[in-house]
Amino acid sequence: MKAAAALAFAIARAPYAFAFPADHGAHPLYQSEWWYFTGHVRSSSGRRFGYELTFFRVRLQPEDVAPAPAASARSRWRGDQVYAVHFAITDEAGRKFVHTERVARQALGLGSAAKGRLAVRADDWSLLGEPLADPKEERMILHAADARSGLDLVQIPLKPPAIHGREGVVRKGECASCASHYYSYSRLRTHGTLRYAGTRSTVDGTSWMDHEFGTNQLDPSEVGWDWMSLQLNDGREVMLYMFRRKDGTLAPQSAGSLIERDGRVRALPLSAFRVTAMGRWHSAQTGADYPSGWRVQISSAQLDVALAPVVANQEIVPSSGPAYWEGAVDVRDAAAPGRTRGQGYVELTGYADPVSL
């Protein structure tokens, strides 16, 4: 979308004060938004799985400026929102990866995302919030299923939302709209059922949830990003994002967060961490060449770890939009690879085709 048109949407500006639970819901004045879950769960038999379930909302045009017609006069075909869901399972024992998707238009009520409360749906795939004892927090219920695989999971926050960036805004580039509002539940207790290869299992584990919204978020010089979430065994979490430019350098707005054991968030500028790719993986399907395996160093946190993909091929190739790599990783001590330090997920975009938001 041309920048002039994109500016008709709301733009992420500072200061922004998140208000929960209302901000768990949709923000339709912004062009794009996603609710993003990744996690590691273990079945009652001890089998370990990684999973990703992401709900995307994209608005095709800015909100109507004319008064809305009465509900009875609105056509059921009317709708300017598109909802897409990506669902993937990593079978760590079998070293296999499967993914599927669902896309629904707002028209005819096929897809929806409520404002002010957590209720997102694309056909029968859904993300719903239920209040907990703390009125600011919610229990989150996930459902997705096709003929091959499925999940029904309940997510309970173990820490308060971690607000990223400064004054409620994450900068992504130099342009005025190159920003988003972004928070994470960096540690969720997860339980429910997972269906894979014809077997339904009761599972328990830990998940990560991102919720981000903005408009025209990437600078024209940027082609994609590398994103990492780490859940450390010592009770801390790390989130890092690096925006890659066409000339091969990183945008100076690349940054991250360190979430302490008590939930306090410490901002990490690009100068505070170092990420080094240790290998490569080539996709036979898309021809993309991805980094694979990383060393992450954050001296101020006394952290030096190696990230190892559980499965080399965790590439998602959706029916619409660019392909990307989204995968479960083990977090090990860089100096003693046999020592496990935690678990995580890595997302790599813009390697098959440039990304635009």
Tell me the pLDDT tens digit for each residue of 66-101: 445 555 455 565 668 899 999 999 999 899 999 999
Q: List 152's β-bridge partners, or say none.
A: 143, 193
Residue pair 28/100 in contact (Cβ under 8 Å)? The answer is: no
Residue-by-residue DSSP string for 36-100: EEEEEEEETTS-EEEEEEEEEEEESSPPPSSPPPPGGGS-TT---EEEEEEEEEEETTTTEEEEE
356: in domain: no
Cis peptide before 69 (omega within 30 of 0): no
Helix (H, G, I), strand (E, B) or coil at 211: strand
pLDDT of residue 105: 87
Cα–Cα distance between 82 and 68 in angstroms, integer? 19
Residue pair 35/23 in contact (Cβ under 8 Å)? The answer is: no
pLDDT, tens digit, 9 for 90 and up, residues 126-149: 999 998 888 778 899 999 999 889
User: β-pairing, 294-298 with 274-277?
Assistant: antiparallel
How many CA within 13 A on the CB side of residue 335?
4
305: in domain: yes
- For residue 131, give its domain range: 3-63+79-349
101: in domain: yes
Q: What is the CA radius of gyration of the chain?
A: 20
Find the CATH number of the domain harbouring 161.
2.40.370.10
172: in domain: yes
Domain total in the chain: 1
pLDDT of residue 124: 94
pLDDT of residue 333: 97
- Residue for token pair 């607000």: 163
124: in domain: yes
pLDDT of residue 108: 65
Residue pair 323/317 in contact (Cβ under 8 Å)? The answer is: yes
pLDDT of residue 6: 44
User: β-pairing, 340-349 with 324-333?
Assistant: antiparallel
pLDDT of residue 2: 41
74: in domain: no
| Weakly modelled stretches of the chain, pLDDT under 50 | 1-7, 65-67, 72
243: in domain: yes
224: in domain: yes
The first and second tokens of residue 344, run together, are 């995580």
H helix or E strand, kind and range, residue 3: helix 3-6
